[in-house]
Amino acid sequence: MPLFAVTVFFSAFLLFAVQPMMAKFLLPSFGGTAAVWATCLVMFQTLLLAGYAYAHLLRAKLSPPAQRWIHLGVLSVSLFFLPPSPPAGLTANLAGAPTWTLLRCLFSSVAVPFFALSATAPLLMEWFRQAAPGRAPDRLYAFSNAGSLLALLGYPVVLEPSFSRTMQARLWSAGLGLFVALCAAVAWRSARGALKVEERGEQKSNNKNAKPLPASAVAPAWLWIGLPACGSAMLLALTNQLSQDVAPMPLLWVAPMSVYLLTFILCFEGPRSYRRGLFMPLCFFALLLLAWLLAVGYLQALWVQVGGYLLVLFAACMVCHGELYRLRPPPERLTAFYLCISLGGALGGVFVALVAPALFKTLLETPIVALAVAGLVTYLLWREEGGGYRTDRTDLTDRTDRTDRKRRRAAAAARSRSPKPARLAFVATLVITVSLGYVLYDLRSGSIHFSRSFYGAYRVKGGPTMLLDKVVYTLTPGPARILLSGQTYHGLQFREGAAARMPTTYYCEEGGLGLALRELPVATNRNIGVIGLGAGTIAAYGKPGDRFRFYELDPEVLHLAQTYFTFLTNCPVKVEVALGDGRLSLEREPAQGFDLLVLDAFAGDSIPIHLLTDEAMRIYMRHLKPEGVMAFHISNNHLDLEPVVRGLADKYGLSAVLAPARFQEPRQGKLASVWMLVSSNRTFLDRPAIAGLARAYLGQPLLWTDDYSSILPILH
C-alpha cells in the first residue's frame, strides 16, 4: 500500500502543478485575462477524461501484464515531449475569442505527458486490487486528491516565488522522470502479487465466490456523471462569481479549487466524513445563502463574501461527492466509475467555461447549477423512498439476509414516524427557485444592457442615482451611465450639458492622470497612447490637434463605448482604437512617438502581469519619446504595485513619483485613484506639482520578467 499511495500522490501532484505553470507560460500571449485559466481547466479536464477512458479500455480488453507493459510504454513516450512549453513564436489574434487557439496550443504543449499521468491513478488502483485481493483501493483516490491539493497550494506559495518558468518546467520534467521509475516499481510489485499467488487463478477464484450484486444495488451510470458534473460546474461558476463580486484575483481562484479537492478527500477517505443528516440540510441552507449573496453580497465585507461563497461550494460539493461515494461500485468496476467521474467533471467545466458564455449575457450559470444540485439531491431522496437502488454499501455486504431484513424494517419504521426527506427537499428546492428568480429580476433593475465575451461579463446601468463604493449617491450633475464589469468601474458619463464632456471616476481632473496632463511639457498637438479603453473617458481630455490612440483587448468593450457613451465621438481629437492586447499590438507596430503613454489595465484586482514585466517596459520605451511620460494606474484593493513600477523605472534609469488617492467626490462622479508617473524629463519632474510628490522610497523595488513574477511580495 505505501508504494501505491506514494505513486498515486505524486502523479496527482504533477498533474496539478503543470496546470498553473502552463497558464503562466501562456498569459503573455493571450492577453493576461482570467479566461485563460478557465479555458486551461477545460482542456485539462478533457485530457483527464481521455486518460480515464484509456485506462478503462486497458482494464476491459487486456490482461494485467499487457496493461502494465503498454502503460509503461506510454509513460516512456511522454518523456520525449519534455519540457512542457508553448510553441516558439506563439502569437494569438486577440481581437476575438481565442479559445480554440489556446486549446490547440495547450494540446501541442503538454497533452501527451498530461494524458499519460491522468491515466495512471485509475490503473494503479486496478493493479492494487489485483496485487491485494480483498482490499478496497478507495483510499488511494483520497491520496490522489491530497496530492492535487498540495500542488495547488504549493505552486503560488513555493514554486512560483522561488523559480522562473523555465526552471519550473525543468523541475517538472525531472519529476515526471522520477514518476516513471516509481510506476515501473509499482508494476513489478503488482506483477509479483502481495499474496504470492497466481494472478489469474486469484481472479477466477474471487469471481466464482463473489455473490452477484442485486439489480437494485446498481446505481444508474448517469448519476456517476451527473453528481461530479454538478460539483465541477459549481466550482467554476462560483469562481467566476467570486471574480465578479469580490475580485478577479488569481490567488483567490486557489481557494475554491482547494475546497473542491478537500471535499473529494473527505468523502473518499471513508464513510465517516459524509453524514446525510448534516450535509443535506446544510446544502439547502447554503443554496439559500447563495441567493442572498447574489442579491446583496457585493455590499458586504470581503470576508463575508469570500466565506459565504466558499461555504456554498463546500456544502454543495460535500453532498455531490458524498453521494457519489455512496453510489460507488465494487472494486472490479472502479475504472468505469472513475471514467464517469472524469466525464462529469469535463461536462461541468465545458458548460461553465464554453457553453454558458455563448448562451447567456450574464453569469446565469450560477443559479442554474444551484438548481441542478437541489434537484439532483431531491431526486436521490425520492428514489430511495420509492424503493429504488440502495446507496449504502454496508447494506450490500451484510453477513446474513436476516440482518439485512432487520435493518430495512427499522429504517422503514423510522421513516414512517418522521416527515419524508424528499418532500422537505422538494419544498426547499421550490423556495430556492423563487429566491434565485427574484435575484435575477432585481439584477435587471436600472440596467440598460448586459453582454458577455471571452474576457468578461459587462453591464451598463443608468439613472440619477448610482452605487459608487458600496454607497448609493444622487448625482448632482444629473442622470448618468456607468460601465461595469463585476464591481470594477470602467467609466461613467453624465447625460446632459457640459457634464457629458467631463472626465469622471478614476480619471477626474483632480486625480493623478489629470495632474500628468496638466503638467505635460507638450501643451498642443499631443500624441497620447492609452492601454485600456473602458467607456473612453480619457478622450474627454482631448484638445484640437491632439491624437489619442487606444489599445483595447475586448471588441465588446469597444462596442459598448461607441453605443452607450459619447466620449469617443464627441471629442475634438483624432481617436484611433487598436483591438488586441496592448503589449502585443505595440510589439507589432512601428514606434508611435507618444508624449504620454497611459497604462490603465490594472483597475481591476486581477492584473495582467505581462504588462508590467521588463520585456513589456522595453516595448513601451520604444514607443515613448525621449522626453515622454508614462502614467500607470495602480489603484488596487489587494496588491501594492508601487514596488513593481519602481523596479521598472530603476531598470531604465527613470524617475517615478506616486500620486496618491487624495480626492473623491462621488456625487460629482469623481472617485479616488492611485497613479504613478514615470519619466526622465527633468522639466516635467521639476514642476512644483510633480516635485511635491517626490519622496524617498523605503521599500524594495521588484523587477518582474516574463520568466519570473510573483504577487505574494506585493499583497496588501
Query: 240 in a domain, yes or no?
Result: yes
Is the pLDDT at 307 greater than 70, yes or no? yes
Which pLDDT does position 211 carry in this prediction? Answer: 45
Higher-confidence position of 424 and 508: 508
Residue pair 316/286 in contact by the 8 Å Cβ criterion: yes
* Residue 441 sits in the same domain as residue 455: no
Q: How many CB atoms lie within 10 A of CB 615?
A: 14
Residues 6+ apart with CB under 8 A from 248: 34, 486, 604, 605, 606
Query: 599 in a domain, yes or no?
Result: yes
* Residue 323 sits in the same domain as residue 175: no
Strand order in the sheet with 547-552: 574-579, 547-552, 527-531, 594-599, 624-633, 675-679, 655-659
Q: What distance in Å separates the CA atoms of residue 91 and residue 253, rounded to the nearest whole number?
A: 26
Is the pLDDT at 382 greater than 80, yes or no? yes
Tell me the per-residue pLDDT of 497-506, one tens digit each, with 9 for 90 and over: 899 999 999 9
Say whether the peptide bond before residue 83 is cis (omega within 30 degrees of 0). yes
Residue pair 146/265 in contact by the 8 Å Cβ criterion: yes
pLDDT band at 70 (very low <50, low <70, confident <90, very high): very high
Kindly tell me the burial class for residue 572, based on how many C-beta atoms sit within 10 Å of its own C-beta (0-12, 13-18, 19 or more): exposed
- Rounded to the nearest 5°, which phi and psi values hold at 699? -85, -175
Query: 253 in a domain, yes or no?
Result: yes
* Residue 187 sits in the same domain as residue 253: no
Tell me the per-residue pLDDT of 542-555, one tens digit each, with 9 for 90 and over: 999 999 999 998 89
486: left (phi over 0), alpha (psi -120 to 50) or beta: left
> Between 302-326 and 365-385, two packed helices, what is the crossing angle to 10 degrees?
40
* Residue 505 sits in the same domain as residue 653: yes
Q: What domain range is 461 assigned to?
A: 450-485
Tell me the per-residue pLDDT of 154-213, one tens digit each, with 9 for 90 and over: 888 888 888 988 899 999 999 999 999 999 988 887 776 544 444 444 444 444 444 444
Q: What is the DSSP letter of 355?
A: I
* Residue 188 sits in the same domain as residue 247: no
Tell me the per-residue pLDDT of 432-462, one tens digit each, with 9 for 90 and over: 787 777 676 666 677 899 998 888 889 999 9
Residues 6+ apart with CB under 8 A from 333: none
pLDDT band at 380 (very low <50, low <70, confident <90, very high): confident
Higher-confidence position of 364 and 400: 364
Cell of 231: 460539483
Which pLDDT does position 128 carry in this prediction? Answer: 79
Kindly tell me the burial class for residue 305, based on how many C-beta atoms sit within 10 Å of its own C-beta (0-12, 13-18, 19 or more): buried
* Residue 45 sits in the same domain as residue 142: yes
* Residue 574 sits in the same domain as residue 480: no
* Residue 569 sits in the same domain as residue 660: yes
CATH of the domain at 74: 1.20.1250
Query: 344 in a domain, yes or no?
Result: no
* Residue 440 sits in the same domain as residue 461: no
Contacts 24+ apart (CB under 8 A), 33-38: 33/454, 33/455, 33/456, 33/553, 33/608, 34/243, 34/248, 34/250, 34/253, 34/456, 34/606, 35/454, 35/455, 35/456, 36/102, 37/250, 37/253, 38/236, 38/239, 38/240, 38/352, 38/353
pTM of this structure? 0.81
Which pLDDT does position 216 carry in this prediction? Answer: 42
Which pLDDT does position 167 carry in this prediction? Answer: 93
Residue pair 280/309 in contact by the 8 Å Cβ criterion: no
Query: 367 in a domain, yes or no?
Result: yes
Residues 6+ apart with CB under 8 A from 356: 363, 364, 365
Tell me the per-residue pLDDT of 80-134, one tens digit each, with 9 for 90 and over: 999 988 776 555 555 556 777 888 888 888 999 999 999 888 888 877 777 766 6
Cell of 151: 500542488
Q: What distance in Å separates the CA atoms of residue 652 and residue 54, rounded to the nearest whole number?
A: 53
Q: What distance in Å separates the CA atoms of residue 678 and residue 493, rounded to the nearest whole number?
A: 28
Is the pLDDT at 62 greater than 90, yes or no? no
What's the total number of domains in the chain? 4
Query: 209 in a domain, yes or no?
Result: no
* Residue 363 sits in the same domain as residue 463: no
Higher-confidence position of 202 and 383: 383
Tell me the per-residue pLDDT of 253-288, one tens digit each, with 9 for 90 and over: 788 988 998 998 888 877 788 898 899 899 999 998
CATH of the domain at 548: 3.40.50.150
What mean pLDDT value characterizes the chain?
A: 83
Q: Tally helices (H) and strands (E) across the chain.
A: 24, 13
Alpha-carbon dihedral 239, 245, 248, 252, rounded to 10 degrees: -60
* Residue 587 sits in the same domain as residue 690: yes
Query: 319 in a domain, yes or no?
Result: yes
Query: 75 in a domain, yes or no?
Result: yes
Tell me the per-residue pLDDT of 470-490, one tens digit each, with 9 for 90 and over: 788 999 999 999 999 877 889
Residue with cell 485563460: 36
**pLDDT mean over 669-673:** 93
Is the pLDDT at 496 greater than 60, yes or no? yes
Which pLDDT does position 396 carry in this prediction? Answer: 40
* Residue 263 sits in the same domain as residue 385: yes
Tell me the per-residue pLDDT of 522-536, one tens digit each, with 9 for 90 and over: 888 999 999 999 999
Higher-confidence position of 405 and 640: 640
Q: How far is CA 438 from CA 81, 163, 355, in A?
A: 52, 49, 24
Least reliable range by pLDDT among 244-253, 270-279, 639-648: 244-253
